[in-house]
Structure formats: C-alpha cells, structure tokens
Amino acid sequence: MITHDNAYFEMKDENITKASKALKAMGHPLRLKILCVIGEQELPVMDIVKQVGTTQSNISQHLDILREKDIITSRRDGSKILCRVRDKNLLVLMDAMQQTFCAVD
C-alpha cells in the first residue's frame, strides 16, 4: 500500500525537474519503445531499428531527443553506434511502469 504523507512526496526542485524531463521524453510511444528495447543492454542502433520496426532515420531522430534529455548515452565502436540508458533509476521506473500497465490479471 502506498502512503501519502508529505514526507513521501517531498522532493528537491532539481529532482522534480529531472523527473519531469525524463517523463516528458519517455512520454512519446516510440521513445518509450526504444527504451524498452534497450533496457539494461548496450545496443547498436541497427538492432534498435530492427526491434522497434521503423526506419533508421526515425529511430535516429528519437535517439537524438533521448540523448539531448540525458536519457541515453551512446558511443562509437568501429562503424557501430552503441546506445544505453544513462541512469539506472530510469530502468527502475520502467520496471514499475511495466508492472503497473503490463501486469497479467
């Protein structure tokens, strides 16, 4: 059971801003799907494209937004660009969303 006392919801302004920025970036269905595909892995962009099922151009645009919002980070390995979720706390949030919205009744 979730308690709703004031201490439970007390957050620093910087954390509120960080959470809001993350939720806004994750609020687009394709970006959320990208994050679900990446999960705890580090994946090449082309693997993300194959698993998400849209064009490389479209994925690249959304990856750029996720990078700008500090949601993911990427690095070059030869000819590949590898992407991963920057903050492990986002994985915890995604797990909570999955348990909430994808639970088997």
With H, G, I as helix, E, B as strand and everything else as coil, classify residue 43.
strand
| CA–CA gap between residue 35 and residue 66 (Å, rounded) | 9
Q: What is the CA angle 26-28-32, rounded to 5?
A: 50
Gap between the Cα atoms of 81 and 34, Å rounded: 15
* Mean pLDDT taken over the chain: 88
Could you state, in order of their start, the residue ranges of all structural domains in the chain? 14-101
Q: How far apart are CA 11 and CA 9, in angstroms?
A: 6
Instruction: Identify the pLDDT of residue 76.
Output: 97
How far apart (Å, rounded) are the C-alpha atoms in residues 60 and 37? Answer: 14
pLDDT tens sequence across 11-50: 788 888 888 888 898 899 999 999 999 999 999 999 999 9
What share of the chain in percent tops pLDDT 90?
A: 54
Tell me the CATH number of domain 14-101, given options 3.30.420.40, 3.90.226.10, 3.40.605.10, 1.10.10.10.
1.10.10.10
The 3-state DSSP class for residue 56 equals helix
Cβ-in-10-Å burial (0-12, 13-18, 19+) of 68 comes to exposed
* Mean pLDDT, residues 76-102 taken together: 91
pLDDT of residue 8: 54
Distance CA 37, CA 58 (A): 15
pLDDT for 99 equals 85
